[in-house]
Structure 1
Amino acid sequence: MLKRVIKITKIPSAVRLWLKEQLGNIKSVTALKGATSSLLYKIEAENKTAVLRLYNNQEWLNKEPDLAQHEAASLDWAHQVLPSKVPKVLAVDETGKYCDLPAVLMSFVEGDVQIQPQTLDPWLRELASILSTLHSTPFPQEFDWHYFAYSDVETLQVPEWTRHPDLWKKAIHLSQCLPPEDQQRIIHRDFHPVNVLWSDGRISGIVDWVNACIGPIGVDVGHCRMNLVALFGVEAAERFLHYYCTFNPTFRYTLYWDLVSYLDFVYPGPPEVYQGWQDYGVTDLTKEIVTHRLENYLEYLFLSQT
């Protein structure tokens, strides 16, 4: 389905005026890459560097009109947990009253997206460590957003493109069962390598918090594993899980959340090459490679349980 998106080639005057009220004189505005469902800009002011997100995906806004409020609340919480690694909210235009689109203005976090590490294992270990730190913090009493699966498990059908129709039937059936108990925390809900910033070999930031919600931590683990499989293969996802369990010994792995994450990530398919991977230098992936890796992963998930 094509998503109707409001295109903006430059910052409108209304947005510039709002930015000036928040930051003072604006020196430069630079579009940032990697954002696929919103517009993202680096704002250089006289005494501060900030990031502006404009929500321009009308289909998404129709479903979730509180996107700016949601991200701001998520950032407020996460900044308390990881103050040096999560942007601080500077201003919010929840309804687009000033910017014509809902907007969040946040502090700039130094670092770069690195999805082609020279040595994979330390990189995976660092990812697992920061996620376990995030999951170690109980959620506040008041947080209005709660986990839901992106796929309607009651209506899922086995896709024609898969070479494992029997495993798909099994995965769909298991996903329709009662979810197992899992630690409930505020989860990022879109934790994967493109949303992580690095500096000097260490993680310096976690960004894109608009999907954060109270939910089972296995969802964050499962979603990151899906991305790692697509980028590197099954072994990378297994190493990440090993390190996560080491850093969070109270975590009890269950197949269920990996299967739900798989269906959310792949269905209806066939799998595509995520634009964010290409934006940050991964140019050797094809649809065929990604599909092959994900099909192997589904097979592996069931074999690992026998």
Structure 2
Amino acid sequence: MINHDEEAAVRPRTLAWVSRHLKVGERVVNTEALHGGITAEIRRLTVGTPDGGTRGLVLRSFVDSRYLGHAADWLSREVNALTLLTGTGVPAPGLVAVDPTAVHCEYPSLLMTYMEGRTVLDDEGLETRVPLLARQLVTIHAVRPTRPLQEYVAWTTADTVVVPEGADAAVWAAAINVIRKPAPPYEGCFLHRDFQPGNVLFDERRSQSTGARITGVVDWAAASWGPADLDVAHCSTNFALLHGPAWGLRFAEAYEEVGGVLAAAASERLYWQVRDALACSEEMQQVAQPWREAGRTELTTRVVAERLDAYVTALMHTV
């Protein structure tokens, strides 16, 4: 096997497991580390076919001790989501194999088909991408599960929020009080739960005249059942941190403009928006690092924290 990047090397037991799930006459001829993930190692595998061609697979392995305890649950969610999405028109990877408890691999692993395209995190072209992302999320929320899904998991509590240095203490105290209240009632739907620009692939070969096109939505490890507001809030927070608070507010508008339905009451919308934004306060470094690795080097932990503060302040001023 050719490996041009030592970091991309697949561990022996895992490689043997992957090989058992290839077609007759196929073999892995190259591996490449894919950056941008926080909880798992992700590698692109190039598979040589008997006719001299190649095809791509993606291997996700949970190797970090901080996340091993969650790996089986996350992989189960992802397998269920990929199975559910087959034939729905949502561009998601195809499931090949899974080893959720590392019976065959060195670490819990998932093997799936490779999707063409790339993530786009730049400010340029944002006005075009926002409605595309909003429309894609509406399509995801319209999927009707054939069996019950696990309920969403809240990613923060009022007592674990980390107030950024220099933030307005009164504003943050008010925001924290918002999520001390019980969650508003909601009509549930299928959630990606981590829908944001880093998990959406675009066709980079499209010309300016034909426009951008989404080719894939990846990382379904947190897929669950819950309010559409929560998915929208999460993407909004990511837009606010990547591009500025105004874009966080803009995404919710775009979601409704393309047919998405959010909570009717402003106070209910605020609950979900604030809950997601405050969750980011606990992991500023983890949020910012993948973006810097992807080329947004100006997004230091401090810059992201300042944008989060500005976004939370903007949210609290909407009521």
For normalisation by structure 1, the TM-score amounts to 0.89
CA distance in 2 between counterparts of 1:300 and 1:64 reads 36
Which position in structure 1 is the counterpart of 2:193? 189
TM-superposed CA distance for 1:250, in Å, is 2.9
Q: Which residue pairs with 1:4 in the alignment?
A: none
Aligned residue in 2 for 1:86: 92
Write the distance in 1 (CA, Å) between the matches of 2:69 and 2:162. Answer: 29
Find out whether 1:295 has 2:302 as its counterpart: no
Change in CA separation of 1:101 and 1:49 when aligned onto 2, cut-off 3 Å = same
Gaps of 5+ in 1: 1-6
For residues 144 and 185 of structure 2, what CA distance do their matches in structure 1 show? 16
In the TM superposition, 1:66-105 aligns within 5 A as: 66-83=73-90, 85-105=91-111
**Cα offsets for 1:233-253 (capped at 9, x unmatched):** 122122211110112343236
Alignment partner of 1:164 is 2:156 = no
Which residue is equivalent to 1:265? Answer: 280
SS in 1 for 2:194: coil
Residue of structure 2 equivalent to 1:229: 240
Report the alpha carbon displacement of residue 170 of structure 1 after superposing the two structures with TM: 1.3
Equivalent-residue separation in structure 2 for 1:93 and 1:272 (angstroms): 26
Match of 1:124 among 127, 130, 137: 130
Query: C-alpha distance in 2, partners of 1:179/1:67?
Result: 23
Gaps of 5+ in 2: 1-5, 50-54, 207-211
CA contact (8 A) 1:121 1:239 kept: no
Give the 3 Å change call, closer, same or farther, for CA 95–204 of structure 1 in structure 2: same
Cα deviation, 1:102-135, whole Å, max 9, x if unaligned, reads 1110011100111115322111111111011111
Provide the C-alpha distance between the structure 1 equivalents of 2:127 and 2:214, rounded to a whole number of angstroms. 14
For normalisation by structure 2, the TM-score amounts to 0.85
The answer (yes or no) to whether the contact 1:53–1:104 under 8 Å persists in 2 is yes
The partner residue of 1:52 within 44, 59, 65 is 59
Structure 2: distance between partners of 1:220 and 1:132: 10
Q: 1:231 to 1:139 in 2, by over 3 A?
A: same
Which SS does the other structure have where 1:118 is aligned? coil
CA distance in 1, matches of 2:137, 2:162: 32
Q: Which amino acid aligns with 1:179?
A: A
In structure 2, what residue type is equivalent to 1:41?
Answer: R
Counterpart position of 2:255: 244
In the other structure, the counterpart of 2:16 is: 17
- Which of 177, 195, 217 aligns to 2:181? It is 177
Counterpart code for 1:237: G
- 2:195 touches 2:231 (CA, 8 Å); kept in 1? yes
**Is the CA contact (8 Å cut-off) linking 1:174 and 1:256 kept in structure 2?**
yes
